[in-house]
Amino acid sequence: MGKKNLVMVGNGMAGVRTLEELLKIAPDQYDITVFGAEPHPNYNRILLSPVLAGEMTIQDIILNDHSWYAEHGIKLHLGKKVSRIDRVLRRVIAEDGTEAPYDRLLLATGSNPFILPVPGNDLPGVISYRDIGDTDAMIDAARRYRHAVVIGGGLLGLEAANGLKLRGMDVTVVHLADWLLERQLDQTAGRMLQKSLEDRGLKFLLGKQTEMLIAGESGRVAAIRLKDGLQIPADLVVMAVGIRPNTTLAESAGIYCHRGIVVNDTMQTYDPKIYAVGECVAHRGVAYGLVAPLFEQGKVAANHLGNYGISRYTGSVTSTKLKVTGIDLFSAGDFFGGHDSEEIVLNDAAGGVYKKLVIKDNKLVGGVLYGDTADGPWYFQLLRDGQDIHEIRDHLLFGQSHVGDVGHQGHSKAASMADSSEVCGCNGVSKGSIVKAIKEKGLFTLDDIKKHTKAASSCGSCAGLCEQILSATIGGAYTPAASNRKAVCGCTDYSHQEVRDAIRAQHLLSIDAVMRFLEWQTPDGCDKCRPALNYYLISTWPKEVKDDPRSRLINERAHANIQKDGTFSVVPRMWGGVTTAAELRRIADVADKYQVPTIKVTGGQRIDLLGIRKEDLISIWKDLDMPSGHAYGKSIRTVKTCVGLEHCRFGTQLAMAMGVKLEKMLFDMYAPHKVKLAVSGCPRNCAEAGIKDVGVIGVDSGYELYVGGNGGIKTEVAQFFVKVRSDEEVMEYAGAFLQLYREEGFYLERTCHYLERVGLDHAKQRVVEDEENRRALYGRLLAELKDAKDPWAERIAGVEHNEYELLSV
């Protein structure tokens, strides 16, 4: 069967990014034809401002030169504007008569600048600011004329004004609103920006409306008259008053348009053979003008054009980051607030710093930063993910470094770092190298930086700093990915959720099958993705998929924790922390026989044998004749208990018995990350149930269950989940919650981070409020664990003392 024909109308950033994504996953599916109205190959429209300012050239901002199209067999028609789509015969026709048939059509027609309907708007010297042609016209005018007027004090208008000023022109900005960037800044920040720009020589007329443009003796524009009668000289007038989706071609073909070409979540128009992406699109009633959401659209469109069918575009929360004449600005969300929200404000006019954060229902919903935008990406991540910020509210205004998020320390210094400063110590990458790669290669994401510079690709501790450099370099084009959309690793562009969806939708049953279907970029994966894929396969198809030993890390293969000196730590299981004299004697005998140098009681009420040689592991487990404590695994670790009503005069419930029941029920439970439980027999909480993944606290009338606690690097207090009366209900509710986490959690995501992502209300709705779903979850958990046996005990059964192949897989 021959290739299908894919035709793309439009050769801009969103459309070509779609082709790049499609070529990654389905390189041989289509013969591709591209029509571009401009005479240039795909270029970085975001960097037109540096070209205007004289900092870069046109060649510097080309993203895909002619050789790229040729290399991928793409037939490129430049300078040819498509005038008609024949949806019956499925072909497109350009103005010069060039035709191309299609099986699938991708519309990426972009947007048109809005031209004010005033007399004189068609005079020579009156231009918009959208493409290379406009930029060349402004550069030429700056060589020959003196007075420039920019109509519009938005992002493009200020960038145009700044570039023309640097080119030596006398520049006045006329703006209808009362302050600059009224859609991106509040009035305080807008006024601060105006003063800073005036100090740099720009002039502003705010709250003014253009009445007409006046021609000079040569017929070229010579002046602009405002409705209040004021007239100012203008040898060049740049209209930067907004854009409109370019829907002319689509509408002429009968494709439904309303504020843009209307598409669904798969980027299909009302004609299922025609897709659309970019500024021409209206998705759920919204048209986007920033690059980040358009690239998200392109990735989804490519996924469906490639017949994968597992991605959805559900809309974007956008942010604005502008760097003009050395002034840093950032805004996102609803930064104006209202009667049902509260504001945290820092206003240091003398120091040139202004911060305003808007909070509603313990969530950050908007913010404006002026002068110090270092924490902009972090604030935007909090906003986009809808994270609960009540515990860090008092420190929120002072930034991420005051909260102490590991892995992002020091990222606020990015703006002041010298180009020679080292960013990535693992790979020896400087800030200058990263900035150069961003500009020359057109990088827009952290993953792009990893691929092209290797920064942040090893330990990852510099990822936050790399994101800040990226944000500072490309401004509003950068939007940090939502946490649930980040790629699993560098071997793929697909997120954890997309991988899980593909495994279920395509009934994939092996790691190799997943990698083939999703076109894994590294043939055999890596130590990050293989364990994740192994977990997703087992948790999705528990009765059909077998564990893959190759996809386990050394601790899991050895059933012991490797220590810094190369020896191992062995922790036998003691149900609920309860043991017997016979077990203790066996442990003591093993310690004597193998000359164990260190024996320690763990925080989870177990006994740890430290300093075990690798060659003794199999024999030690045989001699212990006890189940593994799985102290190394992404699984149930321990259920910690107090002595409870069994012995304590304050106890209200049988804590030890309850702990043993839970631990035996959950034995050998594979999970996205380690899982720890605790049962306290009374509210005095001696078992520290308040910082466990599931904490059970006995009260007079039953038990209180808490979920999502974590006693790790950053302690998270567990949240109240439900109150129950009986042991059976404890097991049902706790088991259902953990099964929900197993089915929805991402690999290496603790329960606290899972709840942070999906929300406690989601878990309560699925487990506490929906009885039928709770019982179904609990039933699936019990069915998967009913035949649970210690896998290590099975694997060492019959293995001779000198056979260690199990440890070196």
Cα–chain-centroid distance for residue 263? Answer: 23
Q: What is the pTM of this model?
A: 0.65
**3-state SS, residue 738:** helix
The first and second tokens of residue 56, run together, are 């870069």
Written out in words, the top-level CATH class of the domain with range 4-111+245-305 is: alpha beta
Instruction: Tell me what pLDDT residue 238 has.
Output: 97
Sole residue written with tokens 């270092």: 374
Whole-angstrom Cα distance, residue 283 to residue 270? Answer: 12
The domain made up of 636-785 has a fold known as Sulfite Reductase Hemoprotein; domain 1 (3.30.413)
Strand partners, 106: 8, 275
Beta strands in 279-335 (DSSP E): 281-283, 319-324, 327-333
The domain made up of 126-241 has a fold known as FAD/NAD(P)-binding domain (3.50.50)
Instruction: Tell me what pLDDT residue 478 has.
Output: 60
642 is in an annotated binding site: yes
Whole-angstrom Cα distance, residue 368 to residue 188? Answer: 10
With a CB cutoff of 8 Å and minimum separation 6, the contacts of 106 are 6, 7, 8, 9, 15, 18, 274, 275, 276, 277, 301, 305
Whole-angstrom Cα distance, residue 22 to residue 334? Answer: 35
Whole-angstrom Cα distance, residue 492 to residue 498? Answer: 11
**Sheet bearing 319-324, strands edge to edge:** 319-324, 327-333, 363-370, 353-360, 342-348
Alpha helices in 705-759 (DSSP H): 727-744, 751-758
Which of 681, 682, 668, 675 has the alpha carbon at shortest distance from 737? 675
Helix (H) or strand (E) holding 280, with range, is none
682 is in an annotated binding site: yes
Cα–chain-centroid distance for residue 38? Answer: 33
β 30-36/75-78 pair status: parallel
Q: Are 268 and 274 in contact (CB under 8 A)?
A: yes
462 is in an annotated binding site: no
Whole-angstrom Cα distance, residue 594 to residue 573? Answer: 19
Whole-angstrom Cα distance, residue 471 to residue 377? Answer: 8
Q: Are 294 and 288 in contact (CB under 8 A)?
A: yes
Torsion angles phi and psi, residue 400, rounded to 5: -65, -35
Q: What angle do CA 556, 558, 559 make, to 5 degrees?
A: 60
The first and second tokens of residue 375, run together, are 């924490």
Domain spans of the chain, in order of start: 4-111+245-305, 126-241, 496-551, 555-624, 636-785
Residues 379-409 as b/e (b if ≥16 CB within 10 A, e otherwise) read: bbbbbbbbbbbeebeeebbebbbebebeebe
Instruction: Tell me what pLDDT residue 254 has.
Output: 97
Q: Do 636-785 and 4-111+245-305 have the same topology in CATH?
A: no
The first and second tokens of residue 361, run together, are 């229902």
Instruction: Tell me what pLDDT residue 427 has.
Output: 64
Amino acid at 155: L
Q: Are 123 and 223 in contact (CB under 8 A)?
A: no
459 is in an annotated binding site: no
Angle between the N-to-C axes of helices 187-199 and 155-166, in degrees from 0 to 180, rounded to the nearest 10: 10
Instruction: Tell me what pLDDT residue 475 has.
Output: 63
Whole-angstrom Cα distance, residue 617 to residue 619? Answer: 6
Whole-angstrom Cα distance, residue 325 to residue 155? Answer: 13
Amino acid at 241: V
Cα–chain-centroid distance for residue 755? Answer: 17
Which of 14, 16, 68, 64 has the alpha carbon at shortest distance from 40? 64
Sole residue written with tokens 């990088």: 443
Which of 503, 493, 506 has the alpha carbon at shortest distance from 533? 503
Give 10-residue mean pLDDT values along the chain (809 residues).
91 95 92 96 89 88 93 96 97 97 98 95 95 95 96 92 94 96 92 92 96 95 96 96 96 96 96 97 92 89 91 84 69 87 90 92 92 82 84 85 45 64 73 88 80 69 75 66 70 88 92 90 85 92 86 76 87 91 94 93 91 90 88 88 92 94 92 94 92 94 94 81 95 96 92 87 93 94 78 50 38
* Alpha-carbon distances, residue 430 vs 26, 435, 462, 480, 801 (angstroms): 35, 9, 11, 21, 51
Which of 766, 747, 754, 687 has the alpha carbon at shortest distance from 716? 754
